[in-house]
Structure formats: structure tokens, C-alpha cells
Chain A
Amino acid sequence: MPEAVTLVVTRYRPEQEHEPTTQRFEVPFRKEWVVLDALNYVKDQLDGSLSFRWSCRMGVCGSCGMMVNGEPKLTCGAFLGDFLPGPIRVEPLRFFPVIRDLIVDIGDFLRKLKRVKPWLVRSQEKPLAEGEYRQTPDQLDAYKPFSMCINCLLCYSACPIYGLEPSFVGPAAIALAQRYNLDNRDQGSRDRHEILSGKGGIWECTFVGQCSEVCPKHVDPARAIQQYKLTAAMHWLMPWAGGSR
């Protein structure tokens, strides 16, 4: 087992340089260390100016997504031992504008997410006195996988369509739209239909399928998109037939 491993980290300091460069860092190898631990070692011991996002260290917060050896990964779940002998390339998530070093701007995604109304839309709320909206296990099962998304955006970095066509609503936002469309308590599927099936919606997707491959939470956005294609086609054929589930 090696004593050290080399990280080749993308640096971008807009006040100094017009294009990103790379910097090599030698970090101690520990088998229980993940790429995020190595980056924190760099930040604490070697170069405090290195900028990257992280929070929970346990695959829940979705903020430490980066390209590791060219693949989108949560760096808190990417063990150094899986990338031996190195060097390990660490780059910012692809297809997003880079603000600094490994930090990308995710504003585009957040704007799109808001447009798909990722919350329960009710035409009329039930009075509180009537109690909660109940669901059977089967009704929960219908949307549960899509509800596991942590907005880490690895799926956007895996999607060449998003890279080529930035207006594409994208995998996570469509999966989250479907998470609510398939929820029997929701009544907002008609509100979401226009953004999902209009320009930049599901029809941009050519089913490369990599969004689902890289998802650390097994959300399977490619499934959500293809299923909505079927829904949208049925809606187009039979616009009179109820909601667009």
C-alpha cells in the first residue's frame, strides 16, 4: 500500500488567470480516506486557498460532487484506494460555469427546479380538522425512488445533452417533477406539463442513460424522463383524458 498519493486538482482563480490550470498535491494515503478527506488535508496543511464545497461527509447533503478521474462522484464516497496508484484527477463538475477552483455555479439548476414546482400542489387544501393526507404503501412506492434525490447534480455532469443544450431542464429537475406528479396527494401535474414537455423539456433527452448510472441515490432520472415522454405523448393524443400523470 502506498504511503502517499498524488492529486491533480483543477485551480481557477479568476482574479489571476483566464483559464483553469492544474496543481499537484502529494497527500498521505490512508485506506479509510476519501477524496474529500484528501482535499481537506490539502486545505489544512498544504494550501489554504484551495476552494471546494462540502458539508455532511456522508452522502446526504449533495454538496461535494466533483469529477474524479473524469467521472462525476460525491467526493465523500470516493475512496482513495479505488483510484490507485494515482494520480487522481479532481475537477469541478462538468457543464456548470466554474466560479473558483472546484466550485461551480448551480443557479441554473435552482431556477429550473423552482419552475417544475417540486412541492405538493393542491387546488384546495383540506381543512386541518380533517387530518393528514393518508397514503397506502403502494401509493408511496409509486414515487419513492424519485424522492431520494439530494440535488448533488452528478446527473447533470453526466448528461451530454445538458452540456450541449443548456436550456434542457435536466435529469434531477424532471425526476423531482415526476416525484410530485406520481404522488396521489398532488394535483399539480397540469401545471408542470408545459415546462416538462415544452422546449428544453423531456424531448431534448436522447436517453444516453448516464444520469442514472452516476446517481449516488439510485434515483434513476432516465426512467423518470422516459416515463414522462409516454405520459406527454398520451396527453397529446388524448388531451381530454384527465391529468397528465
Chain B
Amino acid sequence: MSPHTTFHPKWYRPRVSVWWWLEKRPYRLFVLREISSVFVALVAFVTLLQVRAVKQGPDAYARFLEWLGTPAVLAVNALAFAFVLLHAVTWFNLAPKAMSLRLRGKKVPDAVVAASNYAGWIVASAIVAYFLLRD
């Protein structure tokens, strides 16, 4: 018998429904954020396929690009892009909670921690954009 009921067998303790996450908007957003990691993994997997296609030569790479252009893959990638954005934004916003930075004894404000994450994101995106668009 659990400690909850040792002395008071008449206590009422309902079980939590498996659908608890549908109850409130913050819970639904939390579940979407958790699911987003599947799409982040998917993007990483597609990138691995791309590396493999590059290794196999120009024909394989052309076939890979053709596959990427098919409507089903485009749809999945569009959905993945939306989830990856959600993933990045929600985690960047939560980062200050996990990181307690102190500079000369003073706490670094949450906004500065979050902003530095976004700044890193922008710099990384700019570097990628430079390589993609330089021709």
C-alpha cells in the first residue's frame, strides 16, 4: 500500500488521464515542443542522406535532388521547417532558465542570455546564407 493510503483508505485519488496534455494550451504547446525533436532528427537524417548522395557521385546527387523536389518530400520538409522553428524559438526562450550566468557577482539578465542565443542563430544563418548565395 502506498504511503498515501496507509491510514486513510477513503482518500480520493483519481488517476491522471493519458489525454492530460489536451487540457490546456500551455500543455499542448509543451507537447508540440517535445514532438518537434522528432522533426529535428528528421532534418539531421535528410542531411546524412545528402552527404551520402554527394559521396556516391553526381548521378546519385541528381537523383537525391529530384527526390527532394517531389511533392510529398516538400510537404514533409515544410512541416519539419515549421517544427524546427518552433523548437529553436521555444528552447532559446527557455535557455535563460537553465543558464544562470554571473558576471562579476551580478546575475546576467534573462533577456541578454536569450538575445545571445538568437544572435548566435543569426550569425550561423548568415554564414550558411553566404555560402549558398555567393555565386
Contact = CB atoms under 8 A, between A and B. Distances in A.
A160 B20 contact: yes
A209 B26 contact: yes
Interface residues of A, number: 37
Contact of B30 (A98, A111, A142, A209): A209
Interface in A195-225: 206-210, 212-213, 220, 222-223
- Nearest 5 Cβ contacts at the A-B interface: A14-B10, A226-B98, A97-B11, A138-B105, A163-B16
A160 B27 contact: yes
- Among A163, A213, A220, which residue has the most Cβ atoms of chain B within 10 A? A163
Interface in B1-34: 2-5, 8, 10-13, 16, 20-21, 23-24, 26-27, 30, 34
A98 B24 CA distance: 22
Contacts of B12: 12, 14, 19-20, 97-98
B4 to A, nearest CB: 5
A164 B106 CA distance: 38
Interface in B21-57: 21, 23-24, 26-27, 30, 34
Given A99-B11, A108-B4, A160 B106 contact: no
B124 interface: no
B107 interface: yes
Q: Quick one: which of B12, B27, B100, B105 has the most chain A CB within 10 A?
A: B12
Nearest to A163: B16
B11 A210 contact: no
B30 to A, nearest CB: 5
Contacts of B20: 160, 163-164
Interface string B86-112: 000000001001111010011100000
28 contacts: A20-B12, A95-B16, A96-B13, A97-B13, A99-B8, A105-B4, A108-B3, A108-B4, A138-B106, A141-B107, A142-B102, A160-B20, A160-B27, A163-B16, A163-B20, A164-B16, A164-B20, A208-B26, A208-B27, A209-B26, A210-B27, A212-B97, A223-B97, A223-B98, A223-B100, A227-B98, A227-B100, A230-B99
A235 interface: no
Contacts of A96: 13
Nearest to A95: B16
A134 B108 CA distance: 24
Interface in A82-139: 95-99, 105, 107-108, 111, 136, 138
Given A138-B106, A160-B21, A230-B99, A105 B16 contact: no
